[in-house]
């Protein structure tokens, strides 16, 4: 029998407490705290970014710096409240000096994300930037070629619509990228309303 929403929320809280003590890789030695993710535990829409930055490491919350502020504003413009979505990263700990995640770190951390997706049961997973997109699609095609094009993917045990998006940090650096991100975000309400894809579709 499927777990009830209350049971899934309780399991997500338990997962959060487990993740906070994670020492599976060397990032546990340099982080201030684990950035598990935040938002609605019953969200139809889940965002997955790359890794926490300095401000996220300090606060223990994802996307709380300038990139996060831009994402929140753009979500609002698309008619989506940030508190209605769940936001996480492929890595739960900040890499030193904000360097790129290493393959071993991504693979070590991936079970946490897969379990989050299983428990939250999103209909749509929106990947922010190249790292998250390549990890969850298993495809090395760059974000500039795949952004805004929904895909059907199985992540762990969950089949979802996956929508690759530019990272808000890239949108902060270039207005053209910001315009593309805003246009792609505007397609999310329609995508969320579609019937869930079948496994293997």
pLDDT of residue 42: 96
pLDDT of residue 172: 97
Q: Does residue 75 contact residue 171 with C-beta atoms inside 8 Å?
A: no
Q: Tell me if residue 47 falls in helix, strand or coil.
A: strand
pLDDT of residue 84: 98
pLDDT of residue 3: 86
Domains of the chain: 8-193 (3.40.470.10)
pLDDT of residue 176: 97
Give CA angle at 129 (68, 75), nearest 5°.
40
Q: Please tell me the distance from the alpha carbon of residue 28 to that of residue 188, in angstroms, as a whole number.
A: 35
Mean pLDDT in order along the chain per 10 residues (201 residues): 89 97 96 97 97 96 95 98 97 94 93 96 97 93 97 93 97 97 98 82 49
pLDDT of residue 99: 93
pLDDT of residue 199: 58
Q: Does residue 192 contact residue 124 with C-beta atoms inside 8 Å?
A: yes
pLDDT of residue 192: 97
């Amino acid at each position: 029998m499927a777990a009830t929403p209350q049971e899934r929320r309780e399991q997500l809280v338990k997962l959060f407490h487990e993740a906070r003590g994670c020492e599976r890789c060397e990032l546990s030695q340099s982080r201030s705290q684990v950035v598990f993710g935040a938002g609605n535990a019953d969200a139809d829409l889940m965002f997955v970014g790359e890794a926490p930055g300095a401000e996220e490491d300090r606060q223990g919350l994802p996307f709380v710096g300038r990139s996060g502020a831009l994402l929140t504003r753009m979500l609002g413009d698309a008619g989506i409240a940030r508190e209605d979505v769940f936001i996480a990263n492929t890595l739960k700990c900040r890499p030193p000096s904000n360097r790129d995640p290493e393959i071993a770190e991504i693979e070590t951390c991936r079970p946490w994300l897969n379990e989050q997706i299983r428990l939250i049961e999103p209909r749509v997973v929106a990947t922010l930037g190249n790292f998250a997109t390549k990890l969850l699609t298993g495809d090395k095609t760059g974000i500039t070629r795949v952004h805004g094009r929904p895909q059907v993917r199985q992540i762990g045990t969950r089949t979802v619509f996956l929508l690759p998006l530019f990272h808000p940090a890239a949108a902060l650096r270039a207005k053209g990228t910001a315009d593309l991100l805003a246009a792609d975000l505007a397609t999310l309400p329609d995508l969320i309303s579609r019937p869930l894809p079948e496994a293997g579709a």
